[in-house]
């Protein structure tokens, strides 16, 4: 039986040149193919909420994107606005500068208030750790730091760093995290082969802009 990759995918467009027509197309494709969510710029949340209507597709957006070094107060305001505009899921970029500075207290304090605010509104939280610019030791430390705070997901990448999702990073994260915390792999996932490898490594969601090509490839490989 063929593997159905579509339910794993957050169908994504986050380019700074994104237009309304791109969002309309994205939402239509997500409904047609049964993707888990669409992940879009905050500016388009209200539009996408209308387009998705009563479908089962979740509405995700990004916070502190793409570099994560915004002030915590700014991220909290972004979260409040995203909730008001109808987001179901919030992909929050953590402060990579703080990781490199080993400022774990800063990271913990920020994540705690962001997660509490989102969870109080019943929203799903994904913390983006930008694994492609972290050492294995730093990635492990991030997992250990965030696990007790109980975000719904840790997410590998924004797609804006020099390296996106890797099987190695997902395997390492899965080994470190409790089963209650899911993993979203994103960044550079352009083939069904890599998508399936990431799922096999432990990813529960995949952030993809090449979603249609990935689904098409998966069907071509059906026995």
Of the chain, the end-to-end C-alpha distance in Å amounts to 8
Please pick, among 75, 123, 126, 184, the residue that the annotation labels catalytic. 184
For strands 124-128 and 58-63, give the pairing.
unpaired
Q: How far is CA 88 from CA 22, 39, 108, in A?
A: 20, 10, 23
Q: Evaluate whether 211 touches 191 at the Cβ level (below 8 Å).
A: no
Q: Give yes or no: 15 in active site.
A: no
Closest CA to 37 of 215, 216, 207: 207
Which residues have a Cβ under 8 Å from the Cβ of 137 and sit 6 or more positions away? none
Catalytic residue among 91, 126, 152, 196: 91
Neighbours of 210 (CB within 10 A): 19
Q: Rounded CA gap, 89 and 220, in Å?
A: 31
219 is catalytic: no
Cα(28)–Cα(30) distance, integer angstroms: 5
Question: Has 49 been annotated as catalytic?
Answer: no
- Catalytic-role residue among 123, 126, 155, 196: 155
Cis, peptide link before residue 58, omega less than 30° from 0? no
Name the residues annotated as catalytic: 91, 155, 184
């Amino acid at each position: 039986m063929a593997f159905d990759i579509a339910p794993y995918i957050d169908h994504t467009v986050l380019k700074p040149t994104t237009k309304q027509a791109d969002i309309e197309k994205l939402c239509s494709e997500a409904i047609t193919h049964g993707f888990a969510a669409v992940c879009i710029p905050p500016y388009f949340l209200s539009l996408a909420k209308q387009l998705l209507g009563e479908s089962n597709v979740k509405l995700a957006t990004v916070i502190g994107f793409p570099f994560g070094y915004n002030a915590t107060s700014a991220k909290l305001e972004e979260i409040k606005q995203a909730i008001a505009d109808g987001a179901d899921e919030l992909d929050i970029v953590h402060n990579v500068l703080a990781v490199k500075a080993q400022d774990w207290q800063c990271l913990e304090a920020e994540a705690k208030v962001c997660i509490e605010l989102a969870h109080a509104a019943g929203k799903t939280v994904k913390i983006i750790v930008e694994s492609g610019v972290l050492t294995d030791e730093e990635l492990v430390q991030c997992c250990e730091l965030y696990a007790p705070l109980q975000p719904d997901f840790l997410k590998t990448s924004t797609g804006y760093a020099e390296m996106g999702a890797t099987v190695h990073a997902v395997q390492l994260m899965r080994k470190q995290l409790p089963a209650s915390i899911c993993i979203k792999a994103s960044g550079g996932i352009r083939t069904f082969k890599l998508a399936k490898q990431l799922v096999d490594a432990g990813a529960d969601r995949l952030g993809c802009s090449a979603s249609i090509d990935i689904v098409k490839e998966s069907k071509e490989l059906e026995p």
